[in-house]
Amino acid sequence: MLDINQLRNELDEVSLRLKSRGFKFDAALFTDLETQRKVHQVKAQELQEKRNDISKKIGIEKSKGNEATDLMADVTQINESLKEQNDALTFIQKQIHDYLLKVPNLPHKSVPQGLTEDDNVIVRELGEKKLFDFEVKDHVDLGHPLGLDFDMGIKLSGARFAVIRSNLALLHRALGQFMLDTHTREHNYEECYTPYLVNNESLLGTGQLPKFEEDLFNTKKGGSEDNLFLIPTGEVPLTNFVRDVIVDKNELPIRLTALTPCFRSEAGSYGKDTRGMIRQHQFDKVEMVQIAHPESSYEALDEMLGHAESIMQKLALPYRVISLCAGDMGFGATKTFDIEVWVPSQNCYREISSVSNCEDFQARRLKARFRDNDKKNKFLHTLNGSGVAVGRAMVAVMENYQLKNGDIEVPEVLIPYMGGIKVITS
């Protein structure tokens, strides 16, 4: 959520920055609501002051032994008026709050200008693309004889679900374990196991609600009206660790990681990537989250990007880093880097990781703060990133390590996780 004081003091500037990412801020609505808020707030303050003055007079009259019936009647009338003003003030404040919940974060000044992925900027490109002396297959054709079963996924759950079996399932598990080990042992993240179902408050805090409810899977507890949502990313439970918490400054940065399934309805993406595992309703991902001091959050962003890149480098997969333009960033991000892996069958790069600094945008929603040296409570900065998406990593390994006969060579770094298996065969 944006800083309301910044909106009050720099409305035109904020509106322009939001426009740069394709969002039209309703300045007229905000100004009107703010005007109403001020009117009710001033009237409430005036009534409180008047009530306090009369209360003092009542005390004086009673100390003299005099009746104060008329004065007490005035207090009763003021209380009724004060309640009306406070109720109106609360209603207006809720309207402002509800509107701001749907407003995205401001782009950082270093973010490239533009509204679509065509305006993103390539930062660097690393790794050599393998030259095949045979016609490459995509992961669907490669996976069919190796245990990648989309028909079974449809049978069990419907479109955009998959079943993985045999040594291909072992490869999928090996990738996740390798990523977790790398981030915990080399990058100093604390491994966490979290719920895969979360409440409204958790999704509100990280920005998925209320704007993106249609992208979520909503569940009902048996025989109850209470509902929980399947997590769209491990970012949600991990970031909510600091909801309604005042963190000791000396504990920063907090580094958390988890391997979780992620569930997304993919609303609005019909017709896109319907073949294969690129866009599934359920997929696994290793998530990295950092809770940082505001002065060091951009150092943390670069650090996290390096952590995600190290996975690609260890797997020896060709990739590139993209700085997203303002219009292509996620709702809560102020600056985002994507890592895109080379997919030979598509002859292009595809996103495999996204690393973002949200600054204090989520922290304001979460009421996540820290006690600074001046003894004041200030909002934390939150960062999140994929480290990386397991299913897409498996797709990249299958396609980049495919052999002419359809077998899959196992990347050297994964062989210990595969029980010594060096080639996946049918």
Binding residue ranges: 233-235, 264-266, 287, 351-354, 384, 386
Burial status of residue 391 (CB atoms within 10 A of its CB: 0-12, 13-18, 19 or more): buried
CA quadruple 51, 57, 60, 62: dihedral sign: negative
Q: For 346, phi and psi rounded to 5 degrees?
A: -95, -10
Name the one residue in this structure whose structure tokens are 């100093």: 188
> What gap in Å lies between CA 114 and CA 342, rounded to an integer?
24
Side chain identity at residue 242, one-letter code: V
What lies within 8 Å, CB to CB, of 29 at 6+ separation is: 99
**Kind and range of the H or E run holding 104:** none
Strand order of the β-sheet with 335-343 is 121-126, 319-323, 335-343, 348-357, 381-389, 282-292, 254-263, 190-191
Q: How many helices (H) and strands (E) does the chain have?
A: 12, 18
Could you list the residues known to form a binding site for ATP, using ranges.
264-266, 351-354
Q: Is there a contact between 68 and 62 (Cβ–Cβ < 8 Å)? A: yes
What lies within 8 Å, CB to CB, of 318 at 6+ separation is: 125, 126, 127, 128, 129, 130, 341, 342, 400
> What gap in Å lies between CA 405 and CA 137, rounded to an integer?
10
Burial status of residue 310 (CB atoms within 10 A of its CB: 0-12, 13-18, 19 or more): middle
The first and second tokens of residue 278, run together, are 């690129």
Could you list the residues known to form a binding site for L-serine, using ranges.
233-235, 264, 287, 384, 386
Q: What is the DSSP string of 274-285?
A: -STTSS-SEEEE
Q: Is there a contact between 103 and 6 (Cβ–Cβ < 8 Å)? A: no
